[in-house]
Amino acid sequence: MQVSASFYRACVLLLLSPTWAWASDYTPGAGDYCSQAQKIIAGTELEPEVVRHTNYEAFVASKPTDQPFVIHRYDSAPLHSTMAINTVVSCKLRTAERINAAHDNEAGGLPVAEAEFSCDEVHRLVLAGTVASVPVPERALDTADWIVEPEDMRFIGPRWLEPWPFNPVSRDQGGLYRLHTRALYAPHAWWVPMPERFLGNYYCHLVSPQYLEAMVRGMLKFP
């Protein structure tokens, strides 16, 4: 019997996410954004090396590695305004099961990645941390003005990349702002034949933290 990737991921979530597990908090400016996303996604304190790409094709061709523990980042979709900031940060991360398979010996056989969270969980924590970092008198938007949408899950690379550019923020007819993320998930142990470098990966298109903070502060007018 063939098992879908979404069913497999649900099983992994149950196995890796005990009732006491929680995602790491997000602290603006405390380390690389994709590094913090990796820690949230996998419930780990391992510090990866982050390769920041400026070339789109090079980022598309890149893959995370275990030894050394390397993940990849690409900032894109800049605003066409006086503010020189990007709106999207794309992170190529490892799953908790892949991290545990590669690094358990470093912790005496204990799991170094304790849970499997999602790209939208990253957005929830980024939103909460960003709003909390802005003093109340300086906030134009609060957490109640936002809805974090469930991740749009894809299982093959081209569908994660397209359509491009990715739009991480929209506004609904009721005036609420919506945070969007597109994810790609490839289990570590999987029946679908594919090269090892494709397995155990979790990719996220996320809102840029600078873009989100600028909106919270009211520095940008959303179209």
Query: For the chain, what are the domain ranges?
Result: 5-216
pLDDT digits (tens, 9 = 90+) for 63-97: 999 999 999 999 998 887 667 889 999 999 999 99
**Residue 194, pLDDT score:** 62
pTM for the full predicted model: 0.85
Would you call 155 exposed, middle or buried from its count of C-beta atoms within 10 A (0-12, 13-18, 19+)?
A: middle
Residue owning tokens 């809102």: 207
Residue 91 · residue 126 · CB < 8 Å? no
If you count them, how many residues does the chain have?
223
Q: β-strand 152-154 against 182-186: which pairing, if any? A: parallel
Give the model's confidence band at 105: pLDDT under 50 very low, under 70 low, under 90 confident, else very high: low
Q: Write the pLDDT tens digit of every residue in 191-205.
A: 555 656 668 899 999
